[in-house]
């Protein structure tokens, strides 16, 4: 049974002088930084290019703009049928619904799987795990037909309602794992004090689940904000377009001359992901290390 969870890596072999080691370390950092820059270069370049006049985008691979302009932003903002904040607002509505749905429905299901004894628990748990692997493409056609029978095509219901019904089973699994790690004494004490399951769930388990809930909220935000396939299929009229679908029509109608405005709106669309990334790094890294979601 390993007791050590942190270590500094395999022991260095041979007799390396301190100078050689620090030179080696500097070289390693230089390589890591260089590699990081290569990886981030396209992103930085896109952001910088969004402030360049379009003709400079095609002639300057460098990061320092010779002319700085906000024209791409003003032009891009109004280039489509609706101003860009219309699509941002649509995306925010969809994302807010999805986040609330996932938090509520997945935590409820997780509480039952992690804490309650009931007939069919093992079977249902196995079914739940299998749905994680199901490709969306298998269900999308019948879902489309179902939602169109309900008159839901071109509304946000097809994207939000499934979340309220806990179809993102990944997060159920995440929260089951988390709740299993919480001491049972707490809810048993509450039960002896006469609390029902609703109260134990709401007053004891949920507040203790904050890290798992945060992970769920952040990933749901980023996935839904990024999601293209479902929004492309279900949102038909430009009035209902979310940011990814709007960007798509933009890029299709774009001739070479409007890369600047397209980059400007693309950069804006990545903004909220950056924000959540910076704010929630701790949860993101832990969430991905334990469950493998990205």
Partner 1 sequence: MRRRETLAAYAFLAPWFLGLIGITIGPILASLYFSFTDYSMIGGSDWVGLQNYRDMIGDPRLHSALVVTFQYVFVSVPLQLALALALAMVLDRGVRGLPIYRSVYYLPSLLGASVAIAVLWRQVFGANGLINQVLAYFEIQGVGWVSHPDYALGTLVILNVWTFGAPMVIFLAGLRQIPAMYYEAASVDGAGPVRRFFSVTVPMLTPIIFFNLVLQMINAFQTFTQAFIVSSGSGGPSDSTLFYTLYLYQRGFGAFEMGYASAMAWLLLLIIGGFTVLNFVAARYWVFYAD
Residues between 76 and 105 with contacts to partner 1, criterion CB under 8 A: 104-105
Q: How far is the CB of 68 from partner 1 (least distance, A)?
A: 19
Q: How far is the CB of 290 from partner 1 (least distance, A)?
A: 7
Tokens of 231: 């929004």
- Please say which residue, 64 or 133, places its beta carbon nearer to partner 1: 133
- Please say which residue, 6 or 183, places its beta carbon nearer to partner 1: 6
| Spatial separation of the C-alpha atoms in residues 135 and 126, rounded to whole Å | 17
Tokens of 89: 């607002």
Q: Looking only at residues 141 through 170 of this chain, which bind partner 1 when binding is defined by CB under 8 A?
A: 141-146, 148, 161-162, 164-167
Dihedral, CA of residue 45, residue 46, residue 51 and residue 56, to nearest 10: 70
- Tell me which of 122, 123, 151, 294 binds partner 1, using CB under 8 A: 294
- Which span (40-48, 65-73, 77-85, 174-182) binds partner 1, by CB under 8 A? 40-48
Half-sphere exposure of 239 (CA within 13 A, CB side): 3
Tokens of 126: 């196995």
Q: How far is the CB of 66 from partner 1 (least distance, A)?
A: 14
Contact track, partner 1, 103-132, x by CB under 8 A = -xx--xx-xx---xxxx-x--x--xx--x-
- Tell me which of 20, 29, 85, 180 binds partner 1, using CB under 8 A: 29
Q: Give the residue from 43, 42, 49, 92 showing the smallest Cα distance to 73.
A: 49
Tokens of 167: 């179809």
Tokens of 212: 């798992």
When asked if residue 252 is in the footprint of partner 1 (CB under 8 A), the reply is yes
- Please say which residue, 6 or 19, places its beta carbon nearer to partner 1: 6
When asked if residue 11 is in the footprint of partner 1 (CB under 8 A), the reply is yes
Q: Give the residue from 132, 130, 99, 110 showing the smallest Cα distance to 181.
A: 110
When asked if residue 255 is in the footprint of partner 1 (CB under 8 A), the reply is no
| Spatial separation of the C-alpha atoms in residues 128 and 215, rounded to whole Å | 19
Tokens of 132: 């994680």
Dihedral, CA of residue 85, residue 90, residue 95 and residue 101, to nearest 10: 150
Q: How far is the CB of 239 from partner 1 (least distance, A)?
A: 19
When asked if residue 209 is in the footprint of partner 1 (CB under 8 A), the reply is no
| Spatial separation of the C-alpha atoms in residues 238 and 246, rounded to whole Å | 8
Q: How far is the CB of 276 from partner 1 (least distance, A)?
A: 8
When asked if residue 269 is in the footprint of partner 1 (CB under 8 A), the reply is yes
Containing H/E element for 197? helix 197-199
When asked if residue 15 is in the footprint of partner 1 (CB under 8 A), the reply is no
- Please say which residue, 89 or 125, places its beta carbon nearer to partner 1: 125
When asked if residue 135 is in the footprint of partner 1 (CB under 8 A), the reply is yes
Q: How long, in residues, is the chain?
A: 294
Q: Looking only at residues 211 through 250 of this chain, which bind partner 1 when binding is defined by CB under 8 A?
A: 222, 225-226, 228-229, 232-233, 243-244, 247-248
Burial class of residue 249 in the structure, from the number of CB atoms within 10 Å of its CB (0-12 exposed, 13-18 middle, 19+ buried): middle
- Please say which residue, 140 or 182, places its beta carbon nearer to partner 1: 140
Q: How many residues bind partner 1 (CB under 8 A)?
A: 98
């Amino acid at each position: 049974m390993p007791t050590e969870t942190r270590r500094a890596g395999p022991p260095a072999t041979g007799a390396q002088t301190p100078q050689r080691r620090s030179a080696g370390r500097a070289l390693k950092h230089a390589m890591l930084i260089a590699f990081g820059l290569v990886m981030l270069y396209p992103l930085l370049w896109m952001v910088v290019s969004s402030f360049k006049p379009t003709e400079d985008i095609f002639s300057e691979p460098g990061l320092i703009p010779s002319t700085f302009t906000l024209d791409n932003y003003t032009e891009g903002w109004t280039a489509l049928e609706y101003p860009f904040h219309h699509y941002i607002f649509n995306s925010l509505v969809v994302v807010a619904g999805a986040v609330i749905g996932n938090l509520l429905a997945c935590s409820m299901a997780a509480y039952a799987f992690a804490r309650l004894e009931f007939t069919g628990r093992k079977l249902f748990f196995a079914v739940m795990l299998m749905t994680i692997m199901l490709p969306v493409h298998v269900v999308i056609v019948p879902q489309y037909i179902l939602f169109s029978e309900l008159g839901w095509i071109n509304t946000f219901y097809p994207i939000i309602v499934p979340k309220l019904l806990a179809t993102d089973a990944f997060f159920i699994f995440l929260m089951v794992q988390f709740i299993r790690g919480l001491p049972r004494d707490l809810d048993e004490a509450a039960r002896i004090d006469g609390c029902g399951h609703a109260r134990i769930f709401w007053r004891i388990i949920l507040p203790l689940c904050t890290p798992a809930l945060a992970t769920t909220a952040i990933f749901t935000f980023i996935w839904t904000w990024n999601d293209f396939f479902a929004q492309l299929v279900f949102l038909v009229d430009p009035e209902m377009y979310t940011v990814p679908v709007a960007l798509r029509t933009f890029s299709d109608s774009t001739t070479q001359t409007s890369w600047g405005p397209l980059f400007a709106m693309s950069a804006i669309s990545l903004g909220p992901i950056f924000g959540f990334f910076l704010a929630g790094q701790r949860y993101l890294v832990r969430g991905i290390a334990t469950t493998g979601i990205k």
